[in-house]
Amino acid sequence: MKTSPLVLPIIVSVSVSIFLFAAQSKTFDPYKVLGVDRSASQRNIQKAFHKLSLQYHPDKNKNKGAQEKFAEINNAYDILSDEEKRKNYDLYGDEKGASGFDPGNAGQQGGYTYFTSGGPGQSGFSFRPGDWQNMGGQGGSKSFSFSFGGPSSQSSFSFGLNDIFSNFFGSDRGGSQFGGFGGSGRSQFGGAKSSSKSIPAVNSQVYRKEIADKGVTWLLLSYTSTSRGTQYYESIIGEVAASLKGALKVGSVNCDTETSFCKELGIHPHHTSRLFVYSYKSSESGSLVEYTSDLDAKNLKIFCQDHLPRFSKRVNLGHFNIASETVGVSPKVLLLSTKRDTPVIWRALSGLYHKSFLFYDAEVHDASDPMVRRLGVDALPAIVGWLSNGEKHNLKSGISVKDLQSAIQDLSALLEKFEKVNRKAGPVKSKKMETESGDGKIPLLTVHNFDNICGQETPVCIIGAFRTSKARGKLEDILLMVSQKSLSRRQNVASSSRDSVSYALLDAAKQQSFLTALDKSGFKSVDQLLVTYKPRKGKFATLKGALTTEEAEKFISSVLNGDVRFTKTRQKPTVK
């Protein structure tokens, strides 16, 4: 139907009047919306936003007007949480910093017709005769800008001619700039944000390079342009990320622009934003787990902590034998703490360095505990490390933690330094160890590897003591044969290591003090000797004479079955 030239000005005039009346009768003040003073700190603004968002979130509050109130809260926080927007609002009454055309003067500027209030307490608009007729014609003005309010507080808004008819009456073509008039489109003063400004974007390339199976836990936000409450999600994520800084990384995935990537991850569009944690809880391979509980910082933080890496093996220090744990080129690190569960810091580190170290942790109650003192630790928490060649190092004792991030950084530097030491020392089968142990299979006891092979963590240590090279060769062959027998190679586990056995050679000519610590005679008249030593109990038993594989096998079997009588050592044996 063709609109009469006389009717059009009336419609537009009435519409503009409605806008001016609504704008002046209800001025949007973000400070009042959040209930904070103009001098409020960012922390107080954030707290107010969290409180109100929980109260009016559409998923929780089904009362009439709750969704509009939630949108208004989001918009207020969007302004006050942004330093530039807040400054502009304080100066101009508009977060964009636009104060409109000069108040009190109407006129045309570059094809735009400006309508202004006459000053404080006044409202109205004016236009030149004939302007309405030119609105729809070629070269006519199709967009309008209004200013209203006094010098101390001015706001402005503008709209195009098409907007009057499409947005006033609920067209779904686009979002209105004014809350309460738009259709399905989003409004500047209502509705969700269309993008994540504060959280780094993640695409398929970033995901594969920085997230997938890298040992780091990520908190990911997925959203679309129509998702509700994105800004509130961002605020909660920011609070959780700050509290777990160093142990947790965050990212956002826009499923509008990353459609195929979201489909690949199994993330489907939703009417609200969604949260996922890249978790290592179930296995060493990471996987996405959705967070579906109440959206508040406390619960989300607990959820993220629960899904931090679990690469550290929890052990009972009383039954822990480092020598019997997985043998390989990787060094080992053990955390001693009073925590009942593996600490967050250690779990995060185990994820970051799980490809470089074997991680363990144990609960201990006091540094004076004999098991702790045997490791050379005098203060808790403490980290003890073992190089690949068996050398023990007390990496750090009495660890103090100021905050999570700095602690992870400090301990990361410590582990990286230890890794370098390990590379220089070389693995178990390095040339140095092969020289000391003959063929590298039965090690020769030295000051460096004694604690690892025959230390307090070892229940039973079988030692072939020799005084000549010929005796060494014979003992080595015997121990190699016996050590491969199932009777004496029952594998140790952390919970039960009483039957664990380690094997070693001892140069009695150079380490006579070791044998003297067992017996006053030092077995000086014996060329070769098989010693069974129990470090924890400080007891020993010996097999002397012409040794054979059969005799050695029978002797060790009797030891394991408890059929051999042990003697108390004179003092704790050591090597030099």
Tell the residue number behind the tokens 């390990």, with chain if given: 422
- CATH number for 334: 3.40.30.10
pLDDT of residue 154: 41
Separation of alpha carbons 189 and 174, rounded Å: 14
- Asked whether residue 163 is domain-assigned, the answer is yes
What's the total number of domains in the chain?
Answer: 4
- Asked whether residue 104 is domain-assigned, the answer is yes
pLDDT of residue 416: 95
pLDDT of residue 220: 96
353 and 445 share one domain: no
88 and 24 share one domain: yes
416 and 524 share one domain: no
Taking the CA atoms of residue 82, residue 86, residue 88 and residue 91 in that order, the dihedral angle to the nearest 10 degrees is: -160
* pTM of the complete model: 0.50
331 and 284 share one domain: no
372 and 421 share one domain: yes
Residue among 569, 561, 572, 571 at smallest CA distance from 542: 569
- Asked whether residue 522 is domain-assigned, the answer is yes
pLDDT tens per residue across all 576 residues of the chain: 454 454 444 444 444 444 444 444 357 899 999 999 988 888 888 888 888 888 888 777 888 888 888 888 888 888 888 888 888 888 777 776 654 433 333 333 333 333 333 444 444 444 444 443 343 443 444 444 433 344 334 444 444 434 333 333 333 333 333 333 333 333 333 333 445 567 999 999 999 999 998 999 999 999 988 887 788 888 899 999 999 999 999 999 999 999 999 999 988 877 788 999 999 887 778 899 999 998 889 999 999 999 999 899 999 887 777 655 554 568 999 999 999 999 999 999 999 999 899 999 999 989 888 889 888 899 999 999 999 878 889 999 999 888 899 999 999 999 999 999 988 876 544 333 333 443 447 889 988 888 888 888 788 999 999 999 888 988 988 888 887 765 443 333 333 334 478 889 999 999 999 999 999 898 988 888 999 999 989 999 999 877 888 888 889 888 888 888 999 999 999 998
416 and 508 share one domain: no
Sheet holding 312-314, edge to edge: 312-314, 358-363, 332-337, 382-386, 392-397
- Asked whether residue 178 is domain-assigned, the answer is no
97 and 233 share one domain: no
- Asked whether residue 125 is domain-assigned, the answer is yes
Residue among 95, 85, 272, 70 at smallest CA distance from 191: 70
pLDDT of residue 391: 85
Separation of alpha carbons 432 and 207, rounded Å: 43
Separation of alpha carbons 516 and 518, rounded Å: 5
pLDDT of residue 197: 60
Instruction: Please say whether the beta carbons of 275 and 235 come within 8 A.
Output: no
What are the φ and ψ backbone dihedral angles of 323, each rounded to 5 degrees?
A: -70, -30
374 and 414 share one domain: yes
pLDDT of residue 283: 72
Instruction: Please say whether the beta carbons of 252 and 196 come within 8 A.
Output: yes
pLDDT of residue 410: 94
Q: What's the domain range around 119?
A: 7-167
Separation of alpha carbons 524 and 528, rounded Å: 10
- Asked whether residue 190 is domain-assigned, the answer is no
| Domain finish residue from 384, 408, 425 | 425
| Domain finish residue from 144, 167, 190 | 167
Strand partners, 221: 252, 275
pLDDT of residue 486: 54
Neighbours of 31 (CB within 10 A): 19
380 and 444 share one domain: no
218 and 257 share one domain: yes
30 and 154 share one domain: yes
Separation of alpha carbons 78 and 74, rounded Å: 6
- Asked whether residue 521 is domain-assigned, the answer is yes
Helix axes 230-243, 66-80, angle to 10 degrees: 50
Separation of alpha carbons 59 and 228, rounded Å: 10
- Asked whether residue 175 is domain-assigned, the answer is no
User: How many residues are given for the chain?
Assistant: 576
493 and 509 share one domain: yes
Residue among 499, 439, 496 at smallest CA distance from 473: 439
Residue among 322, 324, 341 at smallest CA distance from 332: 322
